[in-house]
Amino acid sequence: MNPYKNTYVLTGSSLTKLGVLDLIINSLYRYECYAYEMHTFNDADTGRFFFRVEFNFVGDGEFSEEALRKQFSDRAEAFEIRWDLSDLATPEKVVILVSQYDHCMQDILHRSSTGALNIEVLAVISNHSELKRLADWYEVPYYHLPVTAETKAQQEAHMWEIIQHCEADLVLLARYMQILSEEMCKKLHGRAINIHHSLLPGFKGAKPYHQAYEKGVKLVGATAHYVSEDLDEGPIISQGVEPVDHTYTPELLVAKGRDTERLVLARAIKLHVEKRCFLNGNKTVVFPGH
């Protein structure tokens, strides 16, 4: 059973203006909608107001999403509100990008198949062939697009064709070890999530966990963020850390890191598909969920 059945969410942002919250509540009340969860945030730095209202229809008869959209649109125009109305029961269409590490992809497919994530994975795209068996097991089409310096632009164009064909709402970089072009990052603005390790000090290049071991790190972590033109520096959605100690070998650090990556990425996906994330310049506004 879909836990989001008959569940809608009204989200948006506007300039900080008196009356926006009253407009939201009155619009829902007029259509006999009960708002049972509401989050708001006013950013004094940018002068913008963000809101997320989760509600269901409690009146007699049948709920008209189209009527509510039109009524709210007409009234919201005066407040210059950027808004959206979503039926949370509708799963997000997802395309996964992956290379050779399977832990994040496997976790996403499992959570999708069990309903833990309200997504529909329509394709997996990889620059390697090793994970096709995993995609086949979940009956998800697998596209092997090998990347070299000579073929990178061509393969990225093919990737974009697949994403468009799937009408993907969200693209997940589940340890995809290729850098997307600036053009692709712009096309996927606000609808592509990446995951990477977060180690302090920062260890870049090959075998970061082995470098961390040599420095005796006491925390391993992961960061999920929206993809941007700046490598691994996009607006952050979710982060997690786990304690480690001197007994951890490089192999144990890798295992702990992968577990953390799985959990942080899954949390970020859930926050995104539940419409709890808002881009706010180079940062995000993320309203809490379960």
To 10 degrees, what angle do helices 208-215 and 250-273 make?
A: 120
Do 115 and 2 meet the contact criterion of CB atoms below 8 Å apart?
Answer: yes
- 71 φ, ψ to 5°? -65, -45
Which ranges of the chain would DSSP assign to H, the alpha helix?
Answer: 20-30, 65-76, 103-114, 132-137, 152-165, 182-187, 208-215, 250-273
Active site residue 102: no
Helix (H, G, I), strand (E, B) or coil at 37: strand
Do 221 and 197 meet the contact criterion of CB atoms below 8 Å apart?
Answer: yes
- 22 φ, ψ to 5°? -65, -40
DSSP string, 120-149: EEEEEEESSSTTHHHHHHTT--EEE----T
Of 169, 232, 245, 259, catalytic: 232
Positions annotated as catalytic residues are 232
